[in-house]
Structure 1
Amino acid sequence: MSVSSRSHSHVIGMWLMVGVAFVFASHDALSKTLILTLPVIFVAWARYLIHTVIVTRVIVREKRENAFRTQRPWLHLLRAVFLLGDSLTFLFGLTHVPLAESTALVFLAPAFVTLLSPLLFGIRADRLQWLSVIVGFIGVLVVINPTSDGFSLWMLFPLASAFCFAVYQLLTQLAGESDSPSVCSFYVGVFSTALLSLVVPFYWASPTLLQWGMLLVLGGMGMSAHLLISKSYVYASSSVLAPLGYLQILFAAVYGVLFFDSYPVLSSALGMALICLSGLLVYLKRPPIAVAE
């Protein structure tokens, strides 16, 4: 691939990642809108049900032999447990924490990945990665400001979401050693929907036609974002794309101002910047993902 072609490929990948950040921020803003009038459990159940239906249709249309076969069903069940932990803690946190601050705190996940990687993969963190962890947690302290009168224990929910998402990422890496991305996506959707179906009758709601439409859009957004992520890495490496992922915090802040009358204070903005810096330090040490040529 020539230099000009590679540059053009990187531009395509970068725009796709900008789209990922925008779609995820839109997804979270729509989620916050829905949970103002519908139970969190019901919204999560509908989101994963729609996810499962869409993924199943995609796999069926591919018509591949043994398309639904997996070698590690229990691993996918564990992935679903942590993905639900990620989703539910984030959604419950959104009921009391502004969208921008919640989004920023979840981006501490790369720091948790650095801390947990030695346990699962025996990968030792170097000094730069430990620095990223320290910077990230300083950013968290600045955002939540536990000594202020405005501090609330609800701030811990996005942190729990970041931890669950980090574990989910590591488990997905393990699952990817034997199963395809579509199979991984299918089983995490099936197990998540099944687990939520056990409790959703206790939180059942009767959405309006408009709310059902919003729930369908929510499920479509989640799937679209993951498809855009996969597509973006075809054109560019993680070292090129990682910084653009943090645009989600900016988009979330804009949504917070426009739709929820939530303006981040200066200390929160500083903490968000530190969390972004923490994540970028982690990505500086990651090996690049091969670009299709």
Structure 2
Amino acid sequence: MYQARVQNNALAAGLIGVATAFIAATTLMAKALGGDTFGAPLPALQISHGRFLFAFVVIGSATLILRPALERPHWGLHIARTACGWGGITLMFASVAFIPLADATAISFLNPVFAMMLAIPLLGEKVGRIRWSAAAMAMAGAAVLLRPTPDSFQPAALLALGAAMVMGMELIFIKKLARRENPFQILLVNNFIGLGIATLAVLPVWQPPTTAQWAVLAGIGGCMALAQTCFVNAMARADASFVAPFSYATLIFATLYDIAFFGVIPDAVSLLGAAIIIAGAVLLALREARLKPEPPRPTTAV
């Protein structure tokens, strides 16, 4: 039996802020592993494998300690959701090896736009003019970040765009799962299945990591597990429409990390593209809140 959590918007906002710092940290570490900072560059498939391996270790350990109530999972939805999540994070890790963290992060904010588009055929949702306008704004921002000129076009940015599309599909499955299962169980099953998929995918390209690379891979998994825990707890204490805008703080942390660790300062094109995407995404979130306020639902926080 789920137990309703007391609504606390201030705590939810703080938890999302912490989650965004951890999420940006995972892309920072993935960028370092994709380069030669800690040894020979690791393939994106191996980085995503480390993410699922160590996240499962953290969440699995928490399960053994806390012993939450678990029930029979809907395996079909979990497999579809996790396959999309694995594909999205792998594409994201591949992109940050070649383009600034801030650009890749901004493009990833298109995932709710793609989720909105996919919700039309898959969930039967209706989309009005304002929501289409918000989507058009966000896509225009992505076009700016892609820099579609012969001299400045960034092919690797297409990887981040692909990540946003796949993660948009993942949101559809998350919506369906959230109506059925305990959030703790969703995290546990997601990382269990993800580890299986990532292990099979990494076998052809796996290479022995250095000691430092193992430590960074563990850091990615740990940060992702902590980010997921903070996010689930935030969602348990506030409506999604309130929480969503705070997730854009990821871009702030990604920019700061890029400056601090790689000396990459965003140029005017990056700032303009990111601003347009965020404006469109915020407009979409506000419209969703007005159209269909989310009633508080019973849940169990981790």
TM-score normalised to structure 1 length: 0.90
Equivalent of 2:53 in 49, 52, 56: 49
C-alpha displacement of 1:29: 0.6
2:250 maps to what in 1?
A: 248
1:69 aligns with 2:75: no
Equivalent of 1:99 in 98, 101, 108: 101
Range with greater deviation from structure 2 (133-142 or 257-266): 257-266
1:290 maps to what in 2?
A: 296
C-alpha displacement of 1:260: 1.6
Q: CA–CA distance in 1 between the matches of 2:166 and 2:63? A: 27
* Length, aligned pairs only: 284
1:18 aligns with 2:11: no
C-alpha displacement of 1:247: 1.3
Q: CA–CA distance in 1 between the matches of 2:277 and 2:216? A: 31
C-alpha displacement of 1:24: 0.9
Q: 1:64 to 1:271 in 2, by over 3 A?
A: closer
Q: Residue deviations 1:140-163, cap 9 Å, x none?
A: 111112125110221111111001
Contact 1:238 1:289 in 2 (8 A): no
C-alpha displacement of 1:86: 0.2
Q: 1:64 to 1:232 in 2, by over 3 A?
A: closer
1:258 maps to what in 2?
A: 260
C-alpha displacement of 1:103: 0.3
Q: CA–CA distance in 1 between the matches of 2:239 and 2:78? A: 27
Q: 1:64 to 1:229 in 2, by over 3 A?
A: closer
2:3 maps to what in 1?
A: none
Give SS of 2:156's match.
Answer: helix
1:29 maps to what in 2?
A: 28
Q: CA–CA distance in 1 between the matches of 2:86 and 2:270? A: 27
2:212 maps to what in 1?
A: 210
1:38 aligns with 2:42: yes
Q: CA–CA distance in 1 between the matches of 2:181 and 2:297? A: 21
Contact 2:30 2:97 in 1 (8 A): no
Q: CA–CA distance in 1 between the matches of 2:205 and 2:87? A: 17
1:159 maps to what in 2?
A: 161
1:281 maps to what in 2?
A: 283
C-alpha displacement of 1:252: 0.8
Q: 1:44 to 1:68 in 2, by over 3 A?
A: farther
* Structure 2 unaligned spans of 5+: 1-5, 36-40
Q: CA–CA distance in 1 between the matches of 2:250 and 2:259? A: 14
Aligned residue identity for 2:262: F
Aligned residue identity for 2:12: G
Contact 2:81 2:174 in 1 (8 A): yes
C-alpha displacement of 1:291: 8.7
Range with greater deviation from structure 2 (97-106 or 175-184): 175-184
The alignment's C-alpha RMSD in Å is 2.0
1:239 maps to what in 2?
A: 241
Percent pairwise identity: 24
Aligned residue identity for 1:43: I
1:58 aligns with 2:66: no
Q: 1:68 to 1:288 in 2, by over 3 A?
A: closer
1:130-169 alignment, distance < 5 Å:
130-169=132-171
Q: CA–CA distance in 1 between the matches of 2:72 and 2:62? A: 15
TM-score normalised to structure 2 length: 0.87
Q: 1:138 to 1:50 in 2, by over 3 A?
A: same
* Structure 1 unaligned spans of 5+: none
Range with greater deviation from structure 2 (51-60 or 14-23): 51-60
Contact 2:44 2:91 in 1 (8 A): no
Q: CA–CA distance in 2 between the matches of 1:235 and 1:45? A: 31
Aligned residue identity for 1:69: R
Aligned residue identity for 1:245: S
Contact 1:108 1:136 in 2 (8 A): yes
Q: Residue deviations 1:11-41, cap 9 Å, x none?
A: 2222222111111111211111122232222
Equivalent of 1:184 in 169, 183, 186: 186
Q: CA–CA distance in 2 between the matches of 1:135 and 1:174? A: 27
Q: 1:187 to 1:11 in 2, by over 3 A?
A: closer
Q: CA–CA distance in 1 between the matches of 2:129 and 2:219? A: 43
Contact 2:112 2:171 in 1 (8 A): no
Contact 1:111 1:136 in 2 (8 A): yes
Q: CA–CA distance in 2 between the matches of 1:277 and 1:253? A: 18
